[in-house]
Amino acid sequence: MSRVLAVELRLVHLELVRPFTTSFGTETMKEAILVKVETDVGEGWGESVTGADPAFSEEFNDDVWVVTREFLAPTLFESGDVVPEGVAAALGGYRGHRMAKSALEMAILDAQLRTEGRSMASAFGGERDRVPVGVSVGITPTVEEMVEQVAGYLAEGYQRIKLKIKPGFDLEPVGAVRAAFPDIMLSVDANAAYDRDDLEIFRSLDAFGLLMIEQPFHHEDLVDHAWLQERIETSLCLDESIRSESDARAALELGSCRIVNIKPGRVGGYLEAKRIHDLCLDADVPVWCGGMLETGLGRAGNLALASLPGFTLPGDISASRRYFHEDLTEPFEVEADGTMAVPQGPGLGVYPDEGRLEARTSRVERIEPG
């Protein structure tokens, strides 16, 4: 239990190694908000998974900055002694803003565990010191370029390849990758770009032996996802639709998916993510940890989460160099066997490098009581 004394917000920019294109658009720069929380027992770091605009989510960086400064941080100051498990309840008077709340919870959890000398993985009940990882391949200018990128990632050891698709760039690239690599674990991610009129496309995707089709329809369309799952053989996986344990329960009861992608920032934090994991584990539904182009801070937390027993599929926790020329922490690497080490140090187990952090920071604001 600790008292929050100050919150520091920091806007950072990291140039991507190559443009990352999905049905939402193209990113060339990772813009992120880092949160440092100072408590009476120590300090901890968190990361918001929002971007510069409200594309993937209704939240975005300026929104996170303002709601944290004006509402969330002052509420934590007024809450007195808090534990990580109490952060969601303390901030529950404000609707939504899951990604902003997640960053604060993450930082408080990091501070508490550092004080206790416990790793995040051990606190979650993780069972592995290494986890299998996959990689997400963005939409490319040509099919040939996508096949080339996949070959490169397979050579690096990744156990699962996920292809981003959109209307007009789906059957041909997926068919080309499957023809080139007939035995790999392959999935596709539509990022909600399709609707019921595209049923024949999904029936055609059945022919490629995919592990899953991720988020084909709008995130609010649980009923339509159930409709589609009844009509195709390939398992559907939901991402944007799962914003809480309640969402996950509804999706499973409706038959909207057979696999769940858990992104801690999207669901309001690592503790809610663990509750979703526990729900799916009890229902014998496989889960995996999705990625949001996180810096090393978010990557460390995701690895800790993915060490839990229900994470039986390789997640999007790729090596730092997959996205960044230089990460803010010591870089994470994928081993030749397609696994990545789970940090074992206290808390997140990593710190941002001060020099790299300062070089990539464009804005800082310190928030204190009163």
Predicted confidence at residue 225, as pLDDT, reads: 98
Residue 103, amino acid: A
Q: What are phi and psi of 2, to 5 degrees?
A: -150, 160
Spatial CA neighbour of 356 closest among 320, 322, 329, 325:
329
Torsion sign over Cα 144, 150, 151, 156 = positive
Spatial CA neighbour of 316 closest among 187, 152, 172:
187
Q: pLDDT digit string (tens) for 150-187?
A: 999 999 999 999 999 999 999 999 999 999 999 999 99
Predicted confidence at residue 247, as pLDDT, reads: 98
Contacts of 155 (CB under 8 A, 6+ apart): none
Inter-residue contact 126 to 342 (CB < 8 Å): yes
Inter-residue contact 17 to 324 (CB < 8 Å): yes
Predicted TM-score (pTM) of this structure: 0.96
Residue holding tokens 């209704």?
58
Predicted confidence at residue 56, as pLDDT, reads: 86
Predicted confidence at residue 271, as pLDDT, reads: 98
How many angstroms separate the CA atoms of 84 and 270, rounded?
10
Predicted confidence at residue 160, as pLDDT, reads: 97
Inter-residue contact 49 to 294 (CB < 8 Å): yes
So which residues are the catalytic ones?
164, 263
Q: pLDDT digit string (tens) for 47-65?
A: 999 999 998 899 999 999 9
- Angle between the N-to-C axes of helices 143-156 and 171-180, in degrees from 0 to 180, rounded to the nearest 10: 40
- What count of residues does the chain have? 370
User: Which residues does the chain have with pLDDT short of 70?
Assistant: none
Count CB-CB contacts under 10 A for residue 206.
13
Predicted confidence at residue 173, as pLDDT, reads: 98
| CB half-sphere exposure, 288, CA atoms < 13 A | 25
Predicted confidence at residue 283, as pLDDT, reads: 98
Inter-residue contact 172 to 353 (CB < 8 Å): no
Spatial CA neighbour of 260 closest among 222, 295, 301, 296:
222
